[in-house]
Amino acid sequence: MVTKRDIRDEVSGKLESMSDEEWRGWSKEIAKHLISSSLWKRAEVLALTISRGKEVDTYFLIETAWKQGKKVVVPRTNFKNREMAFYELTSFDQLEDGPYNLKEPNLRRCSAIDPKKIELVIVPGLAFDKNGSRLGFGGGFYDRFLPQTKAQRIALAFPCQIVPLVPTEPHDCLIDHIINPDGFLS
Ligand SMILES: Nc1ncnc2c1ncn2[C@@H]1O[C@H](COP(=O)(O)OP(=O)(O)OP(=O)(O)O)[C@@H](O)[C@H]1O
Ligand SMILES: [Mg+2]
């Protein structure tokens, strides 16, 4: 049986060997599909993460959302209770360096938002399957957070992040839609 650990190792390796050109080109394609979708167009409050390394680029998405007058909220992670809170971001200057190479909203410069106000969540993750199962980074943060909102859940994935089957446990939350460089998978 394939375990979460197997998929983590396999997909992390493939992501590391992705070239910068692939990262840039595929991020652009994925952004194009997301931004032209009705889900994006009708959402006024969007939750995104600040992308790191070989994650699909979210800086361009955040800038686009600002230009379109949308509200962007980003998480701050509490590693003690493994919970996240979301704060409104209006400028990248409001970010500070957090643990694990994370960029997080500065508490003195950003205000918290009620998760119920979020309409669309761009959910990060390592791997996904076509049924919407998700493998995250192993903390269970999104599995704890997603049940607090009714927002649509979209994941953005490079080709190597789509796997035949993500093994799941009862606490794992499903994703509504996955976008890869060719468009919506589901
Ligand atoms: N809703 C929850 N309540 C309590 N514990 C949870 C919950 N969701 C996940 N956990 C615990 O968190 C740990 C990590 O979960 P999992 O392997 O699903 O992480 P993940 O989905 O990869 O992480 P993330 O969502 O942070 O990207 C597991 O030990 C799991 O039992
Ligand atoms: Mg999980």
On the question of pLDDT at 167 being above 80, the answer is: yes
Rounded average pLDDT over 120-137: 97
Return the residue whose CA atom lies nearest to atom 27 of ligand 1. 136
pLDDT confidence band for 1 (50 / 70 / 90): confident
- Distance from residue 136's CA to the centre of ligand 2 (Å): 6
- Distance from residue 154's CA to the centre of ligand 1 (Å): 18
Domains and CATH numbers, the chain: 4-180 (3.40.50.10420)
- Distance from residue 58's CA to the centre of ligand 2 (Å): 21
Report CA-CA distances (Å) from 85 to 31, 49, 108, 115.
25, 12, 14, 8
Q: Cα–Cα distance between 84 and 107 in angstroms, integer?
A: 13
Please report the atom of ligand 1 found closest to the CA of residue 172. Answer: 18
Return the residue whose CA atom lies nearest to atom 15 of ligand 1. 140
Do 156 and 179 meet the contact criterion of CB atoms below 8 Å apart? yes
Contact residues for 31 (Cβ-Cβ < 8 A; gap 6+): 57, 60, 61, 64
Q: Is residue 87 helix, strand or coil?
A: strand
Cβ of residue 98 lying under 6 Å from some atom of ligand 1:
no
pLDDT tens readout for residues 68-95 = 999 999 999 999 999 999 999 999 999 9
Cβ of residue 128 lying under 6 Å from some atom of ligand 1:
no
Distance between start and end Cα atoms, the chain: 25
Q: Cα–Cα distance between 142 and 173 in angstroms, integer?
A: 8
Q: Is residue 30 helix, strand or coil?
A: helix
Do 131 and 142 meet the contact criterion of CB atoms below 8 Å apart? no
On the question of pLDDT at 186 being above 80, the answer is: no
Mean per-residue pLDDT of the chain = 97
Do 73 and 45 meet the contact criterion of CB atoms below 8 Å apart? yes
